[in-house]
Structure 1
Amino acid sequence: MTARRDPERPGRLLRTERETLLPLLRRTPPEDFERPTACPDWNVREVLAHCGAALVRIIEGRLPAFTPEHNAQDVAERADWSLDRILDELEYGMTEAGPAIEAAGGELDVIALGEWVHAGDVRDALGEPGAYEGLGLDDALALLATVSRERSTPRVCAFTPRGSWLLGNLVDGRAAAQLSSDEGTLIRMYTGRPVAPERYSLAGARREELVIYR
């Protein structure tokens, strides 16, 4: 299915993560924040520092941002912060960024989706099951349907246990591709995370064409 923009969806997705991810992080042993993640250059601590910094940029209106250079600078600036300070900033961002994202008229929705995906990266690194299938999954899939069109990925009819999704844009002279997978694998594929080949079936498109974050 396709999904019309719900302006409250990004904020709702962030608040869901605040209520589910933060309690997990508050009880995680400090040494586990050094674990590597699906983001090649960042461990768990650095992913969380990036997430909090990005949301604070939105709240404070320090845009445009989110280039690799900005992201690296934000993480470096937080290198000597305590874990509590990093988590406090992330909690603040997840609480307060929703209205600013809503007011942007859709331009920043992709950031809310990215925050949810990074939460999956953290869960995955910590060995949590269903890392990319948390409580915000329905909102995340709806945002993905929109973002996949904005990022000019090819049209894909995706079939998952929760239903079907129409992703991307039609390409002249090219039929829609067909994808079958579970929802977590769908998220992984479109965000460039590692995926085992046996977890999906894709015909009519190349996997690398689907990635929305480059």
Structure 2
Amino acid sequence: MTTTRDPDRPGRLLRAERETLLPLLRRTPPAFFELPTACPDWTVRELLAHCGAALVRIIEGRLPAFTPEHNAADVAERADWPVGRILDELEFGMAGAGPAIEEADGGLDVIALGEWVHAGDVREALGLPGAYESLGTNDAIALLATVSRERLTPRVCAITPYGDWVLGNVVDGRAAAELSCDEGTLIRMYTGRPVAPERYRLAGASREELVIYR
């Protein structure tokens, strides 16, 4: 499946997580916010602080940003915030950042994808099934298809239970790689999350070549 840019797609992804993740988090016991996540050195609470801060930066036009230094400073600034305040900021960001991302004409689409992936990181940390297959999966993979080209990954034809996808770029003298897996595994592979070897079949490329976040 090839894709053209749908300007509302990033906003839909954020709204999907506002509708599904936020209600879950508001009834999650406080101790769970101190669990580790797939992001090194960040707990669930710290990861959510990063996500909310990034969206507020977009809404307020405080760009460019999103370097490791910016991210660390944003999390440190919120170190003494109660969890409820962190969730309030995240909900505000998920509700309001879509139009600003749309106006960026694709330049910030990767941030919306990252927010959706981080929501999966949170679900994974909380031990929930299907962490990276929540509402919005097709929009997330459509964004991933674009980002995989921008990040210069090789051409991959991916076959999933609910559709086929073309990701990455044609490389001279090299045939397209073939990947067979479910949608959640596809997201995991391209974002560098742990994947059990039996969850996929990949020929013509290495896992390391596919990762978009380095």
TM-score, scaled relative to structure 2: 0.99
Percent of counterpart pairs with the same letter?
A: 84
State the match for 2:93 in structure 1. 93
Asked whether 1:63 is paired with 2:63, we answer yes
Q: Aligned to 2:165, what secondary structure does the other structure show?
A: strand
Residue 62 (structure 1) shift: 0.5
Specify every segment of 5 or more residues in structure 2 that has no aligned partner in the other structure, as ranges.
none
Q: For 1:33 and 1:113, locate their aligned partners in 2 and report how far apart those are by CA, in whole Å.
A: 22
- Structure 2 counterparts to residues 61-140 of structure 1, below 5 A: 61-140=61-140
Q: For 2:120 and 2:105, locate their aligned partners in 1 and report how far apart those are by CA, in whole Å.
A: 25
- Structure 2 counterparts to residues 1-214 of structure 1, below 5 A: 1-214=1-214
Q: For 2:70 and 2:154, locate their aligned partners in 1 and report how far apart those are by CA, in whole Å.
A: 29
Q: For 2:163 and 2:137, locate their aligned partners in 1 and report how far apart those are by CA, in whole Å.
A: 13
Specify every segment of 5 or more residues in structure 1 that has no aligned partner in the other structure, as ranges.
none
Residue 107 (structure 1) shift: 0.4
Q: For 1:113 and 1:147, locate their aligned partners in 2 and report how far apart those are by CA, in whole Å.
A: 9
Query: Could you tell me which amino acid in structure 1 is paired with residue 121 of structure 2?
Result: D
1:169-200 deviation line (CA, Å, top 9, x unaligned): 00011100000111000000000001111111
Residue 40 (structure 1) shift: 1.3
Query: Could you tell me which amino acid in structure 1 is paired with residue 125 of structure 2?
Result: A
Q: For 1:207 and 1:77, locate their aligned partners in 2 and report how far apart those are by CA, in whole Å.
A: 35
Query: Could you tell me which amino acid in structure 2 is paired with residue 191 of structure 1?
Result: T
Q: Aligned to 1:173, what secondary structure does the other structure show?
A: coil
Q: For 1:166 and 1:150, locate their aligned partners in 2 and report how far apart those are by CA, in whole Å.
A: 13
Q: For 1:98 and 1:92, locate their aligned partners in 2 and report how far apart those are by CA, in whole Å.
A: 11
1:106-154 deviation line (CA, Å, top 9, x unaligned): 0000000000000000000001110000011011011011111111100
Query: Could you tell me which amino acid in structure 2 is paired with residue 49 of structure 1?
Result: A
Q: Aligned to 2:180, what secondary structure does the other structure show?
A: strand
Query: Could you tell me which amino acid in structure 2 is paired with residue 20 of structure 1?
Result: T
Tell me how many residue pairs correspond in the alignment: 214
Q: Aligned to 1:79, what secondary structure does the other structure show?
A: coil
Q: For 1:67 and 1:155, locate their aligned partners in 2 and report how far apart those are by CA, in whole Å.
A: 27
Q: For 2:7 and 2:110, locate their aligned partners in 1 and report how far apart those are by CA, in whole Å.
A: 12
Q: For 1:121 and 1:137, locate their aligned partners in 2 and report how far apart those are by CA, in whole Å.
A: 14
